[in-house]
Structure 1
Amino acid sequence: MAVDNSELSGLQKGLAFIYSLVLLVANLLIANEAWSALKLLQQTEQRFFYMDIMPFALAALWLVPVMLMLSYILLTRALSVLPQLNVDKLLKAALPCLLLLLVSRVAIGFYLGDYLPSKGFIYCDKLSRTAAFSGQIWVSKQAYCHDESYLVNTEVLEWFDEQQSAGTMPSNDEVTAQIELFIAEYKQRYQ
């Protein structure tokens, strides 16, 4: 079955619109995550249990112009009314943004490593998730970072959220006991 060129170009235009819409939604998500991370960093005194900071969220702001350029390129291919820009120039403009993304990610990591400890927070690798773009967990007390809490990090963070929303401040012993209870339940289920 042969497909004529008018149907194919319509399909290409539709895909260009869909891809550019996906890029625009991704830009909104990046901006939202960056805004959330900035707000969280400004409220360090109000977060008494832990903070979940995604360092990549702030650095990813350098991806916004790159994705806007890609979206424009896709739309110019689909719409003949938009002026065609030189794609080579747009791509050359994207390279510094990508370099700034890498540099700023490293710089933000160093900044957080100084800023959050000065506010009384300790990085807890046991509670942090291992996914590439997930957040880093910073706790307000060393006792909150139990050696085996990596087994039940989701349950621990949910319990921390419940305590924070209730406005309660359990003692170090209560936190340690709750974490150990989660660990015991986990080991009972899976071992």
Structure 2
Amino acid sequence: MGKIGTRRAGASAGWLLVVGMAGPAVAATDYAVSGSATFNGNASALGDGQFLGSSYTSATGVIGAGTFKFQGASVGNAGTSLTYHLDQSIASAGQVGADGLAALADASMRLTVVGLTLSGTPRAVGTDCVFEPIHIVLDGNGSASGLELSATGFSIAPIDPNACNGFATAINNLIAGNANSIALRVEGNFSPPGTIFTAGFESVR
């Protein structure tokens, strides 16, 4: 197993994969995700997220279909703050290329507002305070230390002014618009296919 054509894959699992040979079946995994987002120019941290039910096949660079999910994030501006969940209504798959460039298929996201504070006073928003679909095309790069993905300039359409228990206008001002961005880090080994490792598993390609 000391030939140049041999590489280490799935080091944490302790198995070897020889270039050109099919690897073992890859089980679905829930990857930890963190990141940040900007909605209509308002910054928001995204923590304790997950990319659910996905997988990564190091031999081919295929990222299995999965869905993003973030709970209890917050965003605000002067006088208005809200708590929201962000999840993905339709799973999307992707690819890491031999050059490390990575991309996911169009992610159809859903932002559900679950809490609102106006001028320091909590307000009930009901169950219809939902922005969807939010189409986001994520790309970036994959490496042994994780998957870095981002998107900018995507649109979030305003919701009906009568939604959110009548507070939709204030919430639309915070969320809806075209000045939106997102940056995500998916924790895991997403080494590009064809990577050759030396002893100690340091990439030499």
TM-score strictly above 0.5: no
Larger fraction in strand: 2
TM-score, normalised relative to structure 1: 0.25
Larger fraction in helix: 1
TM-score, normalised relative to structure 2: 0.23
